[in-house]
Structure 1
């Protein structure tokens, strides 16, 4: 039985390793570059040298998402063609010398920015120098363009035939892991609120809250990769909705981490002012500990809701989140009464106690289901409006097609009705 479990764990680790973006990128790039080289050997007009431009282009343009591959292919071809044209113009006008080479590089880099080659801006100058540096620049220029097109086409075809994976699951795991880290920090801060906390321990929690910014950056990178994998992917339906749900979910968690950092700063200031006394009286501290524990559970439930795709699971996750937020709101009201009584007895540090209450309110409000629904609708409306403004003709054509389909469906239903 133990051998079976170990074999299952080993197989699971192997599957996760094969789904790692770095591994997938390496395998796809190597395969596409090899195919591009085989094709370029047969089709390249320059037989005097190995057509390494084709596999190089395929290596550069093949990405882990179809959208990124299409974008890189366009920029790479754009850069090479611009460099070849500049080199041909310079060869006809001035030839090759030290000053013409300097002018060529300046002109090529400027052209790279004009044609929006972005990271391939240097490729414009490289292509121009390679073509200008040979006597038979015409054949080399044509060969370089052909090999670049071969590499770009192979890279695109590779992602069209073998559809790249969708990285939504990995992004969801990163979001849930971030939520668990926020939960652990909240639980530790709740324990400190219910106890006599030295200043250095409260400051340590503040530094831990600040380190969450680095975690947010890593999750954002995973989410950007997931968003790119949803664009132009033939295996994905409602890609815009998935992107908006994940992005707004991460934005909410980011706001919560910022508020957590402010809350940790309030605890640190209280510890500094009240040391060696406890941060709060025993009843107030216990209530804060309970409140932070309830909010911590709600943060994890919110992450599960954001990353859940099945409708039934999403409904249960939303019900659980609503229940936890209602319980947290009730505990928050009890905390407000305790803090008010405490301020009436002792008005020292009243602004810090009020800040604790305001920061807790902000976290609860950010995760509220109605607030989330409004945010989703706003983001969907914004994306639709931007799409209409960016591509008005395509939008009008799509609207006309939908109107025709609705008209046909209505007429067909009218004919079938008795």
Structure 2
């Protein structure tokens, strides 16, 4: 199986958790931790390098998982980083990423942020024509870093509306139906030298992903007829390859995506363009999993409830949109070994003080007892980065595993850390 779509087996997670316990990283006082498979992440970057032309910049989306030590591991493995805010630009720099390999994509860049990004030499994808005017008034006669224009290909939404960004009225990019305005912008601004497209981060079928790239790529010839041959130097494909969270979901291998691009848009791989990708979920999601101790088990009416230490704080989308977001669940005993025996229906609830803090309702699992561990699969992306401060619970411990080696990627937050977060100054 390609490591691009590989998922964590319960037995492997159990072995890593037991090693963390034995080494004292997951102590008796640790209530929950996230684990990230660094070897799997590196293997996915290696496959990107193999499938795409040499020199392609693979800028991993920071918003998918912003832990600096994880970002550092990505950069050391050859990745660039994609920032959706200027704070994420700073995270990328803190992780040791060269400015020229940072892609700044925020749809709400301020004048000051644009000025700082230009001074740093960060790549910028412009979201709208007013932003283009701001850059034009800032650069003067100087040669800016690579600047591109995000174009909304208007291919429509996918199965999850909240993660679809290529509908006709999407807030992102310049709609492709404004083609004449796009061509005029490239003709008027010589510093505009790249195109950028992204259609969504989950729930998009393969054909729609490819169609989005094809529609924006079709602008290249028209731009170069107006503004000169060789004007478009780079093409940013975005990310968006979906992850199979459910066992019955069909995963899309990277090879299938690249083959579809080559079949539909052969000119994309002709070698005269610098390509950029912005994968995040596909890199991280199935490389991460979480383990929480079970604090209490109690009966409420006809339901048996298991109270754990990760809930709607970590799995925001799962709690609020359960029909759209899924995570497989397993049970380990108090020593971290897979639990068998009789099964029963149980509702998994988190630690937050509101009734919607439910991770799984009336699901069938091996019998859960206090002190056991609940294993949450595929939480490497859009979980910790979306952490909710409701009830002011601290961020959990984050550990990396790389073969037999374990490392701390981020220490858990203490109550003092949380007080400092909410205080006037730190």
- TMscore range, shorter length: under 0.3
TM-score by length of 2: 0.21
Instruction: Give the structure with the larger helix fraction.
Output: 1
Higher relative contact order at CA 8 Å, sep ≥6: structure 1 or structure 2? Answer: 2
TM-score by length of 1: 0.21
Bigger Cα Rg: 1
